[in-house]
Structure 1
Amino acid sequence: MKITIIGPGKLKERYLKDGIAEFVKRLTTYTKLEIIEVSDEKCPENLSPADMEIVKKREGARILSKIHPSSYIITLELEGKQLTSEGLANKIEEITVGGYSHITFIIGGSLGLHSDVRKRSHFKLCFSKMTFPHQMMKLILIEQIYRSFRILKNEPYHK
Structure 2
Amino acid sequence: MKKLVIMLTPAAMLVLAAPFAIAQESQTPAPVAVDTAKALSEWDKVYAVFSHPRCADCHVADERPRWSGAHYGGTRVHAFNVQRGADGSGFGSPGLRCMTCHFSSNSKALHGPPGAENWHLAPAEMAWFGKVLGRNLRPDQGSLAQWQPQLEGYRGACSRRQTGRLGLGAGIGS
Shorter-chain TM-score category? under 0.3
Q: Which has the higher strand share?
A: 1
More relative contact order, 1 or 2 (CA 8 Å, 6+ apart): 1
- TM normalised by structure 1 equals 0.25
- TM normalised by structure 2 equals 0.23
